[in-house]
């Protein structure tokens, strides 16, 4: 009885810390405080706390699979944002990502040697080649956003991996939400 409760507490702390490490850009205040309480109770469990600057509090906006793509916690308004998420079967850039993409656009405009590769991804549902086409729509939507901001076409490359390179392995709504994305990767002139 005792042993099992220690185990479950230990594993909760482990999972919580793993989540912190895995999604360092997305913890809500709720997650963080829950982990801290856990640490006080289990002195010999020490989760790695990433050294991050203080974040705005978005805990009042629930992080659901449905609203995942537009959750402000993913987008800090700077070039540190490297993943843009998308709604199911959609390829519109979410409004919450606009400031971050403007920051990327400004960086690219100021640094003509900088090159960015926009990698489109989908969740696993649907056929593989059709998903490659959907992933391309997403990468092209981000490309279009940057082009409208005045970024030169020669600085942007797009590629779609469809469902072939998932960020999350599960077959559930939250994993799918994490996989519907465009990754922004600099091949030169990284900010």
Partner 1 sequence: MRKLLLMMMLACANMVHANLVIEVTQGRDDALPIAVVPFAASGGQPEEDVAAIIAANLHRSGQFRPLDSGDLLSRPTRGEDIIWRDFRVMNMEYIVLGRVNRQDDGRYRVEYELHDVARGARMLAASYTGTASQLRDMAHSISDKVFEQLTGIPGAFGTKILYVTMDERRSQPFQLQYADADGHRAQTILSSRQPIMSPAWSPDGRRVAYVSFEGDGLPKIYVHELDSGQRRVVTREPGINGAPAFSPDGTRLALTLSRDGVPEIYTLDLETNRLVRRTNSRSIDTEPRWLPDGESLVFTSSRGGGPQIYRLDLRDGSVRRLTFEGPYNARADVTPDGRYLVFVHRVDGRFQIGVQDMRRGTFNVLTASNMDESPSVAPNGTMIIYGTQQGGAGVLEAVSIDGRVRVRLPSKEGEVREPAWSPFL
Q: Which residues bind partner 1 (CB under 8 A)?
A: 117, 124-130, 132-134, 136-137, 158-162, 164-165, 169-171
**Which residue number, 29 or 173, has a Cβ lying nearer to partner 1?**
173
- Shortest distance in whole angstroms from residue 36 CB to partner 1: 32
CB of 91 to partner 1, least distance (A): 11
Q: Which of 21, 20, 17 is nearest to 45 (CA)?
A: 17
Helices in the chain by DSSP H: which ranges?
2-22, 29-41, 98-110, 128-148, 173-179
List the one residue out of 104, 91, 105, 94 whose CA is nearest residue 135: 91
Report the nearest approach of partner 1 to the CB of residue 146 (Å).
17
Give the count of beta carbons closer than 10 Å to the beta carbon of residue 33: 11
**Which residue lies nearer to partner 1 by CB, 13 or 118?**
118
Closer Cβ to partner 1, 13 or 163, answer by number? 163
d(CA 47, CA 112): 42
Least CB distance to partner 1 at residue 158 (A): 7
Alpha-carbon gap, residue 49 to 53, rounded angstroms: 12
- Which residue lies nearer to partner 1 by CB, 68 or 163? 163
């Amino acid at each position: 009885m005792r042993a099992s409760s220690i185990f479950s507490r230990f594993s909760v702390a482990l999972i919580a810390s793993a989540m912190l490490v895995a999604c360092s850009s997305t913890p809500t205040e709720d997650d963080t405080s829950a982990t801290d309480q856990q640490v006080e109770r289990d002195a010999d469990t020490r989760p790695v706390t990433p050294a991050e600057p203080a974040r705005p509090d978005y805990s009042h906006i629930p992080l659901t699979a449905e609203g995942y793509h537009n959750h402000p916690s993913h987008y800090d308004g700077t070039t540190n944002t490297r993943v843009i998420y998308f709604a199911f079967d959609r390829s519109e850039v979410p409004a919450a990502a606009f400031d971050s993409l403007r920051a990327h656009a400004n960086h690219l405009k100021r640094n003509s040697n900088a090159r960015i590769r926009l990698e489109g991804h989908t969740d696993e549902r649907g056929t593989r080649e059709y998903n490659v086409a959907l992933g391309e729509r997403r990468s092209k939507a981000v490309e279009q956003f940057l082009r409208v901001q005045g970024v030169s076409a020669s600085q942007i490359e797009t590629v779609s991996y469809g469902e072939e390179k998932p960020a999350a392995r599960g077959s559930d709504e939250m994993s799918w939400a994490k996989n519907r994305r465009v990754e922004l990767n600099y091949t030169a002139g990284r900010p």
